[in-house]
Amino acid sequence: MLIQWIFPGNEIEPMFIRDDAEAALSELAEHCAEVADHYVSSAARIRDSRLAEMFEGLAQNHVQLATELADHLRGMGSLPRAPDPDRETALEFLSAIKETLSGNTISSVLDDQIQREKRLAEEAEAALDNSLPEPARASVMKVAQAARSAQHSLAAVHA
């Protein structure tokens, strides 16, 4: 899983987040890593090589963004929270079932990824309401822009 690369095993110890800004940044880094993992697993399930390549590129972008956010957290004296692997496995299982039952795997995958990007953009925009240090604020703005851009790209493929 990509998450283990972003959040090495020695950093998954429980810890306290000191304020709302750190909590928002930690949640956003976690969600960004989760979205990246979903892209990787979706790319492996679909049979469209062009779309799989697009998903792999989006996954790499999200990994970079999650890593950048995690670095800002470390700079603030906190450690990023790691995503719950059991929750992710359950969500992947549900996505696979939904794809199978839908009869149109690509449409189902695109719908799910568009919704994930929408939630990520909304979460990034909400994080900007907190008092974030400037380098972290710029990274959060990059996440919001990347998520909105990915939404548009996915919607264009879906059309």
Is residue 10 included in any domain, yes or no?
no
Is residue 7 included in any domain, yes or no?
no
Structure tokens at 148: 């909105």
pLDDT of residue 19: 84
Give the distance, in angstroms, between the CA of residue 48 and the centroid of all CA atoms in the same chain.
22
Mean pLDDT, range 8-19, rounded to an integer: 55
Is residue 9 included in any domain, yes or no?
no
Q: By residue range, what is the domain housing residue 26?
A: 18-158
> In this structure, what CATH number is given to the domain that contains residue 131?
1.20.1260.10
What's the total number of domains in the chain?
A: 1
Asked if 143 contacts 109 with a C-beta cutoff of 8 angstroms, the reply is no
Is residue 5 included in any domain, yes or no?
no
Q: Long-range contacts made by residues 122-130, C-beta under 8 angstroms, separation at least 24?
A: 123/24, 123/27, 123/28, 123/31, 124/28, 126/24, 127/21, 127/24, 127/25, 127/27, 127/28, 130/20, 130/21, 130/24, 130/25
Is residue 114 included in any domain, yes or no?
yes
pTM over 0.95: no
Convert the pLDDT of each residue in 15-58 to its tens digit. Answer: 555 788 899 999 999 999 999 999 999 998 888 999 999 999 99
